[in-house]
A and B are shown apart, each in its own frame.
Chain A
Amino acid sequence: MRWQTDPLLVVDHLTMRFGGLTAVNNLSFSVGRKDITALIGPNGAGKTTVFNCVTGFYKPTEGRLALARSGIATSQEVAALTATGKRHAQSAGADLYLLERMPGHEIAREARVARTFQNIRLFSGMTVLENLIVAQHNALMAASGYTVLGLIGAPSFVRRQREAVEVAKSWLERIHLTDRADDPAGELPYGAQRRLEIARAMCIDPVLLCLDEPAAGLNPRESGDLNELLRSIRDEGKTSLFLIEHDMSVVMQISDHVIVLDYGTKIADGDPKSVREDPKVIAAYLGVSDEEELEKVEAELSK
Chain B
Amino acid sequence: MASENSASPSRLALALKEGVIAALLAALLEFPIIDYQAAANIDNRLVLTSRFGLAMTIVAIVFIARVSIYLYQTRVVARAVVKVKGPSVFAPYVQWINYAGIAALVVFPFVILTLLGSGGALKWVNNYGVQILIYVMLGWGLNIVVGLAGLLDLGYVAFYAVGAYSYALLSTKFGLSFWICLPLAGILAALWGMILGFPVLRLRGDYLAIVTLAFGEIIRTVLINWTDFSNGYAGISSIPHITFFGLPFDDDDHGTFSSFFHIAYSPIHRTIFLYFLILTLALTTNFVTIRLRRLPIGRAWEALREDEIACRSLGINTTTTKLTAFAMGAMFAGFAGSFFAVRQGFVSPESFTFVESSTILAIVVLGGMGSQMGVVLAAILMIGGTEILRELEFLKAIFGKGFDPVQYRMLLFGLAMVLMMIWRPRGIISSRMPSIFLAERKSISGANVSEGHG
What residues make up the interface of A, taking CB atoms closer than 8 Å to B?
55-57, 104-109, 114-115, 117, 121-127, 129-130, 133-135, 137-138, 140-141, 144, 147, 150-151, 165, 169, 172, 178, 181-184, 186-187, 200-201, 203-204
A104 and B305 CA atoms in complex are apart in Å by 18
Give 26 pairs: A residue, B residue, CB < 8 Å, sorted on A: A55-B313, A56-B312, A57-B313, A105-B316, A109-B317, A117-B309, A121-B313, A122-B307, A123-B303, A125-B302, A125-B306, A125-B448, A127-B436, A134-B303, A134-B311, A147-B295, A147-B324, A150-B295, A150-B297, A182-B440, A183-B442, A184-B445, A184-B448, A186-B448, A201-B313, A204-B314
A182 and B87 CA atoms in complex are apart in Å by 15
User: Whose C-beta in chain B lies nearest to the C-beta of A186?
Assistant: B448
A134 and B296 CA atoms in complex are apart in Å by 7
**Residue B111 at the A interface, CB < 8 A?**
no
User: Whose C-beta in chain B lies nearest to the C-beta of A200?
Assistant: B314
A259 and B317 CA atoms in complex are apart in Å by 32
Q: Mark B263-296, 1 if CB is under 8 A from A, else 0.
A: 0000000000000000000000000100110011
What is the minimal beta-carbon distance from A20 to any residue of chain B, in angstroms?
25
Most chain A Cβ neighbours within 10 Å, of B288, B312, B450: B312
A141 and B321 CA atoms in complex are apart in Å by 11
**Residue B435 at the A interface, CB < 8 A?**
yes
For B85, the chain A residues whose CB sits under 8 A away are none
Q: Is the CB of B437 within 8 A of A127?
A: yes
Q: Is the CB of B432 within 8 A of A140?
A: no
Give which listed residue, B306, B310, B438, B448, contacts A129 with CB less than 8 A: B438
What is the minimal beta-carbon distance from A150 to any residue of chain B, in angstroms?
4
Q: Is the CB of A108 within 8 A of B442?
A: no
Give which listed residue, A138, A165, A178, contacts B315 with CB less than 8 A: A138
User: Whose C-beta in chain B lies nearest to the C-beta of A138?
Assistant: B315
Count of interface residues, chain B, beta-carbon cutoff 8 Å: 39
For B314, the chain A residues whose CB sits under 8 A away are 108, 114, 134-135, 137, 200-201, 203-204
A202 and B437 CA atoms in complex are apart in Å by 20
Q: Is the CB of B309 within 8 A of A124?
A: no
A184 and B450 CA atoms in complex are apart in Å by 12
For A126, the chain B residues whose CB sits under 8 A away are 299, 302-303, 306, 434, 444
Most chain B Cβ neighbours within 10 Å, of A121, A126, A127, A186: A126
New A-B contacts (11) at CB < 8 Å, excluding given A126-B444, A127-B444, A133-B436: A104-B312, A108-B312, A114-B314, A117-B309, A124-B306, A124-B450, A127-B442, A144-B295, A147-B324, A181-B439, A186-B448
Q: Is the CB of B316 within 8 A of A138?
A: yes
**Residue B441 at the A interface, CB < 8 A?**
yes
CB-CB contacts below 8 Å: B414-454 with A? 432, 434-442, 444-445, 448-450
What is the minimal beta-carbon distance from B423 to any residue of chain A, in angstroms?
21
What residues make up the interface of B, taking CB atoms closer than 8 Å to A?
288, 291-292, 295-297, 299-300, 302-303, 305-307, 309-318, 324, 432, 434-442, 444-445, 448-450
Given the interface pairs A137-B300, A150-B296, the reply to whether A105 lies near B315 with Cβ below 8 Å is yes
For B435, the chain A residues whose CB sits under 8 A away are 130
Given the interface pairs A104-B312, A165-B438, A182-B434, the reply to whether A125 lies near B296 with Cβ below 8 Å is no
Q: Is the CB of A130 within 8 A of B434?
A: yes
For A122, the chain B residues whose CB sits under 8 A away are 306-307, 310
Give which listed residue, B309, B315, B448, contacts A204 with CB less than 8 A: B315
Q: Is the CB of B436 within 8 A of A165?
A: yes
Give which listed residue, B299, B316, B324, B439, contacts A133 with CB less than 8 A: B299
User: Whose C-beta in chain A lies nearest to the C-beta of B432?
Assistant: A125
Given the interface pairs A123-B302, A140-B296, the reply to whether A115 lies near B313 with Cβ below 8 Å is yes
What is the minimal beta-carbon distance from B43 to any residue of chain A, in angstroms?
66
Q: Is the CB of A137 within 8 A of B315?
A: yes
User: Whose C-beta in chain B lies nearest to the C-beta of A181?
Assistant: B438
Most chain A Cβ neighbours within 10 Å, of B296, B435, B441: B296
For B315, the chain A residues whose CB sits under 8 A away are 105-109, 137-138, 204
Given the interface pairs A105-B318, A122-B310, the reply to whether A187 lies near B448 with Cβ below 8 Å is yes
The 9 closest A-B pairs by CB, nearest first: A125-B449, A108-B315, A109-B315, A123-B306, A186-B448, A121-B310, A140-B296, A181-B438, A150-B295
A134 and B315 CA atoms in complex are apart in Å by 10
For B442, the chain A residues whose CB sits under 8 A away are 127, 182-183
For A125, the chain B residues whose CB sits under 8 A away are 302, 305-306, 432, 444, 448-450
What is the minimal beta-carbon distance from B362 to any residue of chain A, in angstroms?
22
A186 and B288 CA atoms in complex are apart in Å by 28
A29 and B87 CA atoms in complex are apart in Å by 55
A114 and B316 CA atoms in complex are apart in Å by 12
For B299, the chain A residues whose CB sits under 8 A away are 126, 130, 133-134, 137
What is the minimal beta-carbon distance from A119 to any residue of chain B, in angstroms?
11
For B441, the chain A residues whose CB sits under 8 A away are 182
For A187, the chain B residues whose CB sits under 8 A away are 448
Most chain B Cβ neighbours within 10 Å, of A107, A117, A137, A151: A137
Q: Is the CB of B297 within 8 A of A147?
A: yes
User: Whose C-beta in chain B lies nearest to the C-beta of A110?
Assistant: B315
For A141, the chain B residues whose CB sits under 8 A away are 296-297, 300
User: Whose C-beta in chain A lies nearest to the C-beta of B370?
Assistant: A125
Q: Is the CB of B295 within 8 A of A123?
A: no
For B444, the chain A residues whose CB sits under 8 A away are 125-127, 184
Given the interface pairs A108-B314, A135-B314, A184-B444, the reply to whether A121 lies near B438 with Cβ below 8 Å is no
Q: Is the CB of B436 within 8 A of A129?
A: yes
Q: Is the CB of A57 within 8 A of B292?
A: no
Give which listed residue, B302, B324, B439, contacts A182 with CB less than 8 A: B439
User: Whose C-beta in chain A lies nearest to the C-beta of B306?
Assistant: A123
For A150, the chain B residues whose CB sits under 8 A away are 291, 295-297
A105 and B438 CA atoms in complex are apart in Å by 28
For B291, the chain A residues whose CB sits under 8 A away are 150-151
For B297, the chain A residues whose CB sits under 8 A away are 141, 144, 147, 150
A203 and B299 CA atoms in complex are apart in Å by 15
For B445, the chain A residues whose CB sits under 8 A away are 184
Given the interface pairs A129-B437, A137-B299, A204-B314, the reply to whether A57 lies near B448 with Cβ below 8 Å is no
User: Whose C-beta in chain A lies nearest to the C-beta of B437?
Assistant: A182
What is the minimal beta-carbon distance from B401 to any residue of chain A, in angstroms?
53
User: Whose C-beta in chain A lies nearest to the C-beta of B439?
Assistant: A182
A127 and B434 CA atoms in complex are apart in Å by 7
What is the minimal beta-carbon distance from B437 to any residue of chain A, in angstroms?
5
For A107, the chain B residues whose CB sits under 8 A away are 315
What is the minimal beta-carbon distance from B248 to any residue of chain A, in angstroms?
34
What is the minimal beta-carbon distance from A182 to any residue of chain B, in angstroms?
5
User: Whose C-beta in chain B lies nearest to the C-beta of A140?
Assistant: B296
